[in-house]
Amino acid sequence: MKIGIIGAMDEELIPIRALASHLEKIERGNRTYWHGDMYGHQVYLTRCDPGKVNAVIATQQMLDFFEPDALFNMGSSGALSPDLEVGDLVIATDAIQHDFDLTGWGLKPGEILFDVITQKENGQLNFTSRHAFGTDSKLTELAFESAKSVSLDEIGGHAPKVYKGRLVSGDQFISSVEKAGQLWNTHQALAVDMEAAAIAHTCEINKVPFLCLRAMSDKADHSANVSFTDFLIAATHNYGRVFDKLIQELGK
């Protein structure tokens, strides 16, 4: 199996790269890729940088250059659900672009338009729409079971738990409790980030299975007393272990 892996920052990909053998560096345009072998699978990794446009460009380039059979996104997210603690893992079931707003047209927050055509007869718009973009159900379930079967390091004295659920993404860093509460109430999303929904959208358009695994870097109420550096070291090792278990299970 050929797997593409995208993270917003290099630091989020280091534990995954460390699992690969015969690692080689590939330069394409302004982007750096890493290629290696893992348990008989070919993996390609790259950094996209934060934000939806950056994520879409990196995803489409990955799909065009290397034609992976599936694409994985890993990294950090901010917790929206009050049940989540720093270090908890979320395996995404679907994702919504929370900052896409056509509510003035009667659509739901985050609902996106496709196939927009103006009717010649009356000048009215015809379109289809999509609210959420799903992840691959088989990969998601396999990742969830893999995450529950491995030992995860404590972060700030908390033993991480594993959840499945919705993510929301937008070109905004969510720093206020009020905004986090609004996103939770509107979408019932477990966590918020800046890339996952855009990557899910791109993968669906290209008919490529998508998996997303996120570690919580902060809580919705910002009460966690864990530095981002300390979190990142422990969290990336945790989802590195999950990925190691998952890729061993693929194809069994």
Single out the residue of 160, 190, 170 nearest to residue 78, CA to CA: 190
Query: At 11, which helix (H) or strand (E)?
Result: none
**pLDDT score at 124:** 77
**pLDDT beyond 90 at 123:** no
Could you read off the pLDDT of 136-157 as tens digits, one per residue?
999 999 999 999 999 998 988 8
Instruction: Say how far apart CA 86 and CA 232 lie, in whole Å.
Output: 10
Over range 109-126, report the average pLDDT: 82
At 99 the pLDDT is 96
Tokens of 207: 């008919």
Mean pLDDT of 212-221: 85
Report the share of the chain in percent with pLDDT over 90: 70
Work out the end-to-end distance of the chain between its first and last CA atoms, rounded to an integer number of angstroms.
12
Owner of token pair 């691959």: 136
Phi and psi at 41, nearest 5°, equal -105, 150
**How many CB atoms sit inside 10 A of residue 7's CB?**
23
pLDDT of 117: 79
Residues 2-249, CATH architecture: 3-Layer(aba) Sandwich (3.40)
Residues 6+ positions from 126 with CB-CB distance below 8 Å: 115, 116, 117, 118, 119
198 pLDDT above the threshold of 70? yes
What pLDDT is stored for residue 128 in this prediction? Answer: 83
The stretch 175-200 carries a mean pLDDT of 94
Q: Do 17 and 36 contact (CB within 8 A), yes or no?
A: yes
Quote the CA–CA distance of 97 and 86 in Å, as a whole number. 23
Neighbours of 121 (CB within 10 A): 6
243 pLDDT above the threshold of 70: yes
The structure's pTM equals 0.92
Residue (of 121, 127, 161) closest to 242 by Cα position: 161
Is the pLDDT confidence value at 114 over 90?
no
> Annotated active-site positions, please?
12, 218
Residues with Cβ within 8 Å of 60's Cβ and at least 6 positions away in sequence, in order, are 202, 206
| Model pLDDT for residues 158-175, shown as the tens digit of each residue | 899 999 999 999 999 888
> Bigger pLDDT: 208 or 220?
208
